[in-house]
């Protein structure tokens, strides 16, 4: 797993870093070959572990030829175990990458199974782990896979989310392996992060809706997709910040290179935010429920013939923005709230800025005809003590990048 020979290597930040690449049994395993080539060009040493099923899709010879390193598959190989024991294999790299990661290997990782070399290495490693899932859209969207991904993210496993697109199985949707250059970029962000303008800063971001229980099976929620908050977390990380994202229940993937805390209710969100402090920057993009049911039932409320529907008594939720923005030793230097309004946008945003002691409010009109709530675009106004800046309608990713740059300027 030594660095690549000099004739191939230009000067690269990842020169001399070591990646243990686990290739599992998906149709996209052939893309691992291109990933190895890209990593070697960057001067990265690559050692491959190929699962038995991965060997159905790509040969050991190809992996070995491109990585210029021995390929490991067998947990019980006497030779391999004496040369490079499986524990040592899990520790010798700077980063463990699983690409493609099958639904199967993700499930094994989530439940701590160690029944072959790849899963044993993953359980034994003390190094960061990055997974690039690839599978049929139904497999990816299956609640079991999504629950496994949530578990892994909670444990700090980093993810290059799958892309949406046409699949080998003639279906369409999320599940396609991210392209090798995208996986390479995620690896680079971990092994050789660019010293961006927010390097050394900690950013706390909230995203998504909250779910407020009515009983064990019902809840109050809203239409937030989490797209804007997730994009802001990713954009801040791209500028070098260490980012903690506290997010409510969403169906989109965790952004790579970000620590994600998954919560459900507003009270859990506040707890997670408080335990993430201190932070230099806090961006509250989540659509937190203003109210919760006073006493959520412990059993499912039954519909009974002739009995009127139950009345729900609502009580206010904690105000997360106002709590974190209140003056005190732990107040982040820059606190940014969001105001999603359907009426009197600017007046409401300006009032929110003052009432909640925020530094900026990102105000947007979420009337149904704008298509912003749950959509891919946003049209925002940045409201601060200096006045109002109106931005054009942009993709949520572009709003995020622009906001991250403004944050970096403000803290410079």
Ligand X SMILES: Cc1cc2nc3c(=O)[nH]c(=O)nc-3n(C[C@H](O)[C@H](O)[C@H](O)COP(=O)(O)O)c2cc1C
Which residues of the chain form contacts with ligand X (CB under 6 A)? 24-28, 51, 53-54, 102-105, 134-135, 139
Minimum Å distance from CB 149 to ligand X?
Answer: 12
Angle (CA) 342-348-354 rounded to 5° is: 155
DSSP class of residue 117 equals: H
Query: Helix 31-41 crosses helix 60-67 at what angle (to 10 degrees)?
Result: 10
Backbone angles phi, psi at 78, to 5 degrees: -60, -45
- Least separation, in Å, of the C-beta of 28 and ligand X? 6
SS3 content of the chain, % helix, strand, coil (to 5): 35, 25, 40
How many other CB atoms are found less than 10 A from the CB of residue 53? 17
Number of C-beta neighbours around residue 172 at 10 A: 12
CA distance 227 to 34: 30
When the beta carbons of 160 and 383 are compared against ligand X, the nearer one is 160
Cβ nearer to ligand X, comparing 25 with 337? 25
The helix or strand, by DSSP H or E, that contains position 150, with its residue range, turns out to be helix 143-154
Q: Which is nearer to ligand X, 135 or 178 (CB)?
A: 135
CA angle 265, 234, 343 (to 5 degrees): 55
Nearer residue to ligand X within complex by CB, 160 or 293: 160
Give me the least distance between CB of 230 and ligand X, in Å please.
Answer: 24
Contact 336, 236 (CB under 8 A): no
User: Which listed residue (48, 169, 247, 273) is catalytic?
Assistant: 169
Secondary structure letter of residue 287 according to DSSP? B
Shorter beta-carbon distance to ligand X: residue 14 or 32: 32
Min CB(158)–ligand X separation in Å:
19
- For residue 247, indicate whether it is catalytic: no
User: Which of 123, 193, 187 is CA-nearest to residue 158?
Assistant: 187
Residue 150 beta carbon to ligand X: minimum distance, rounded to whole angstroms: 17
The set of catalytic residues is 169
């Amino acid at each position: 797993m030594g660095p690549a020979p000099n004739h191939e290597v230009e000067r690269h930040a990842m020169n001399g870093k070591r990646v243990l690449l686990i290739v599992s049994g998906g149709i996209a395993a052939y893309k691992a070959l291109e990933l190895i080539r890209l990593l070697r060009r960057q001067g990265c040493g690559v050692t491959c572990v190929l699962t038995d099923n991965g060997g159905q899709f790509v040969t050991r010879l190809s992996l070995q030829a491109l990585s210029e390193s021995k390929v490991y598959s067998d947990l019980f190989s006497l030779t391999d175990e004496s040369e490079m024991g499986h524990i040592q294999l899990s520790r010798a790299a700077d980063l463990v990458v699983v690409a493609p990661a099958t639904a199967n290997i993700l499930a094994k990782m989530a439940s701590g199974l160690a029944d072959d070399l790849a899963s044993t290495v993953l359980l034994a490693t003390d190094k960061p782990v990055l997974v690039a899932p690839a599978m049929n859209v139904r497999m990816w969207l299956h609640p079991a896979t999504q629950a496994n991904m949530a578990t892994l993210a909670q444990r700090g496993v980093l993810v290059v989310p799958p892309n949406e697109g046409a699949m080998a199985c003639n279906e369409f949707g999320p599940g396609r392996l991210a392209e090798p250059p995208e996986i390479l970029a995620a690896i680079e962000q971990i092994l050789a992060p660019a010293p961006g303008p927010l390097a050394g800063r900690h950013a706390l971001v909230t995203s998504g809706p909250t779910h407020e229980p009515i009983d064990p099976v019902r809840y109050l929620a809203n239409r937030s997709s989490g797209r804007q908050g997730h994009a802001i977390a990713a954009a801040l990380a791209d500028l070098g910040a260490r980012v903690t994202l506290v997010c409510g229940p969403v169906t989109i993937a965790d952004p790579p290179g970000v620590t994600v805390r998954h919560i459900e209710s507003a009270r859990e969100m506040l707890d997670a935010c408080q335990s993430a402090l201190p932070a230099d920057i806090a961006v509250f993009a989540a659509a937190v429920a203003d109210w919760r049911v006073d006493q959520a039932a412990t059993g499912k409320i039954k519909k009974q013939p002739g009995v009127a529907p139950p009345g729900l008594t609502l009580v206010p939720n904690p105000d997360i923005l106002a709590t974190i923005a209140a003056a005190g030793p732990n107040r982040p230097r820059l606190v940014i709230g969001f105001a999603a309004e359907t009426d009197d946008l600017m007046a409401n945003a300006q009032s929110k800025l003052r009432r909640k002691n925020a530094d900026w409010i990102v105000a947007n009109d979420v009337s149904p005809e704008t298509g912003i709530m749950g959509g891919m675009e946003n049209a925002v106004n940045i409201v601060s003590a200096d006045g109002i800046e109106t931005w054009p309608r942009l993709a949520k990713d572009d709003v995020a990048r622009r906001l991250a740059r403004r944050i970096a300027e403000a803290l410079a």
